[in-house]
């Protein structure tokens, strides 16, 4: 599986100076990248990418989904953790209903689980998405028919 939807620079572990062994990645910082049309539907902005060093696997970025926007279905080789930081959105594991998530909630996907996440039909959602390593397999888009199955409380 290879990483797509991020630039090579985003995914590369930085060379840490001694003073940079604590990195503070400010909300919305870095070059804002539009989520690739191949991997997302609607307006999606990726900012503030980060990645671990010295054997730490963790890496991630902040992703903002405008109302109606969502990722395509995808699978993370070592799972994924989402920390919702603003608004409310939807998340779905294949075979289960779409579920509502709001600021302060955490979502953990087990390794190999096919899933998607994004805004609700009427509200934006921002999360910090974290994974261990770069292994992600991007699959088909979430169709309008699939997305229309979101919960009644948007």
Compare residues 69 and 129 and give the one whose CB is closer to a copy of itself.
129
Phi first, then psi, for residue 11 (nearest 5°) are: -90, -10
Window of 30-38, 65-73, 90-98, 143-151 that interacts with a copy of itself by CB under 8 A: 90-98
User: Could you say whether residue 53 binds a copy of itself (CB under 8 A)?
Assistant: yes
CB of 85 to a copy of itself, least distance (A): 5
**CA distance linking residue 97 with residue 134, whole number of Å:** 27
How many CB atoms within 10 Å of residue 36?
14
Give the three-state DSSP class for 146: helix
Placement of tokens 């953790």 in the chain: 81
Q: Which residues bind a copy of itself (CB under 8 A)?
A: 16, 19, 21-28, 48, 50, 52-58, 60, 62, 78-79, 81, 83, 85-86, 91-93, 96, 99, 101-113, 115, 126, 128, 130, 132
């Amino acid at each position: 599986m290879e990483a797509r939807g991020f630039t090579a620079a985003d995914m590369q572990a930085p060379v840490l100076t001694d003073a940079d062994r604590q990195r503070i990645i400010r909300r919305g910082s870095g070059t804002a990248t539009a989520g690739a049309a191949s991997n997302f539907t609607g307006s999606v902005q990726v900012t503030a990418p980060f990645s671990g060093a010295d054997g730490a696997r963790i890496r991630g970025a902040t992703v903002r989904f405008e109302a109606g926007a969502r990722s395509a279905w995808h699978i993370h080789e070592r799972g994924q953790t989402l920390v919702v930081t603003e608004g409310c959105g939807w998340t779905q594991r294949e075979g289960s209903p779409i579920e509502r998530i709001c600021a302060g909630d955490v979502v953990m996907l087990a390794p190999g689980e096919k899933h998607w996440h994004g805004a609700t039909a009427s509200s934006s959602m921002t999360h910090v998405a974290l994974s261990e390593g770069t292994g992600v397999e991007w699959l088909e888009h979430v169709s309008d028919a699939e997305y229309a199955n979101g919960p009644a409380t948007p």
